[in-house]
Structure 1
Amino acid sequence: MKTVLVFGTFDNLHPGHRWFLKKASLYGDRLVAVVSRDAFVQDIKGYTPAQNEVTRITELEFSGLVDTAILADKTIRTYGVIRKIKPDAICLGHDQLSLLNDLQSWLAQSDEISLELYVLPPWKRRKFSSTKRNRVRNKVLDSPGICFR
C-alpha cells in the first residue's frame, strides 16, 4: 500500500483544498493530511486560523477526502510525522515552496527516509485561497464596523 502525505492548514476547507487533496490521492492508495498547529499558523503566516486545529482535523476526516488527518509535530521542522507515517510520497501545494526546500534539505541529511516529492499545480488560485480569504476576514474584523439602527 502506497501512502501519500500532505501538509497544510486547511482552514475553511474550500474547493481549492478539495482539488489538491483529490489530486494528491492519485499518487497512492492512502492519503494522510498533516494539519498545521494553530501556533504555527500564527507564527508563520501571521494570523490565527478561523477554525482551530481540532475543527480542521475533524472537517478533513469528515470530508472523506483523506484516510487520516493528524496534527503536525509539536516542534516545527522536526518531521517526526514523516518517521512515524513512513510515506512513499509527499505532495505539496504550489504555494509551499519554502516547505519543499526545507524538506529537500532534511531528506538529504536522512539516510533512513526515501520518498518522492511532488509539487501540485494551483487550481483557480485567484478564487480559492485561504490566505486571500483570511486577509479579507481580518480587515473586516479589524475595521470599526457599521452600526445599523
Structure 2
Amino acid sequence: MLESSQKVILSTMYVCQIENTEPFEKIKEKTMFSDEEIKSKIDELIKNQLVNEDKKSLTELGRNSLRVVLAGGVFDIIHPGHIYTLNAAKALGDVLVVVVATDNTAIKMKKRQPLHSQEQRKELVNSLSMVDLCLIGQEDDIFKTVNNVRPQIIALGYDQVHQEKSIIDGCKRINLDAAVARLQSPIPDSSSSKIQKEYGESIHGI
C-alpha cells in the first residue's frame, strides 16, 4: 500500500510526463518537503521499481499503481453542477485529467460561440482544486487524447450525449481497458447555456 506522500509524488510525475515538464519543483510545492526529503522518497520509489532511474518518469508498475480518471466537457461557465461532477470524478481515483473541448467542437455541441476561448476554459478548469491536469481536446479524434492519458476510468457527466458503448468500443480500438462511469448531478437544471440565457434575459430586463 502506497503512502499518501508517495501517491502525490507518483501523481505529479505522471502529470509532468504528459505535460513534458520537470516534476521536482511541483513535488516540492505539493508536499512542502525539503529537497533532501524528496530525493530520499524518489530513491525509495526507484528501489521499489515504481520510478525509473531518470528520477522523473514512472515505470509500468508505478503507472499502474495510480488510478487515473478522465473527464471532458466544454466548461464555458463553471457552475455548481460542474463542481459536483468533477468532485465525484476525482473521488473515483487518484488523478483527475479533464479535457476541454476546442472552440470548434464547442460550437458544434452547444450551437453557439463559447463565451471563453479554449485557452481561457483550460485555465479556468486548471484552477479548480480537484483537477490535476487540464488538456485541450483533439478535434479529429477524441481517442488521441484518451490514448495519451490512458485512464482506467472515463467519467461522463449526467448530460453528456456520449454513449457508454461507443466509448468502450473506442477504447478497445486503442487497446485500452477502461471502465466508463456515468456521474449523477444533484442539480440537473444547471447548465452553462441556461445560465447564459438567464443572464442575458436579466440584463435585458434591467
Relative to the length of structure 2, the TM-score reads: 0.62
CA deviation after TM superposition for structure 1 residue 78, in Å: 4.1
CA deviation after TM superposition for structure 1 residue 116, in Å: 0.6
CA deviation after TM superposition for structure 1 residue 130, in Å: 1.1
CA deviation after TM superposition for structure 1 residue 137, in Å: 5.1
Match of 1:79 in 2: 143
Match of 1:113 in 2: 176
In structure 2, what is the Cα distance between the partners aligned to 1:102 and 1:138? 36
Amino acid in the other structure paired with 2:195: R
Match of 2:94 in 1: 29
1:61-113 Cα distance to aligned partner (Å, 9 max, x none): 112220000000131x44101111100101001111335343134235x2611
SS at match of 1:5: strand
Counting matched residue pairs gives 141
Amino acid in the other structure paired with 1:120: L
Task: Specify every segment of 5 or more residues in structure 2 that has no aligned partner in the other structure, as ranges.
Answer: 1-65
> 2:69 aligned with 1:4, yes or no?
yes
Is 2:105–2:139's contact at 8 Å kept on the other side of the alignment?
no
Give 1 or 2 for the bigger CA radius of gyration.
Answer: 2
Task: Specify every segment of 5 or more residues in structure 1 that has no aligned partner in the other structure, as ranges.
Answer: none
Identity %: 23
- The one of 191, 196, 203 aligned to 1:129: 191
Match of 2:153 in 1: 89
Question: Against the structure 1 CA distance between its residues 116 and 52, is the aligned structure 2 distance closer, same or farther, given a 3 Å change threshold?
Answer: same
Pairwise CA RMSD: 2.2
Match of 2:118 in 1: 53
Greater helix share, structure number: 2
Is 2:143–2:171's contact at 8 Å kept on the other side of the alignment?
no
Greater strand share, structure number: 1
Match of 1:68 in 2: 133
Amino acid in the other structure paired with 1:57: K
Structure with more contact order per residue of length (Cα contacts < 8 Å, sep ≥ 6): 1
User: Could you list the runs of 4 or more consecutive aligned residues of structure 1 that deviate by over 6 angstroms after TM superposition?
Assistant: 138-141
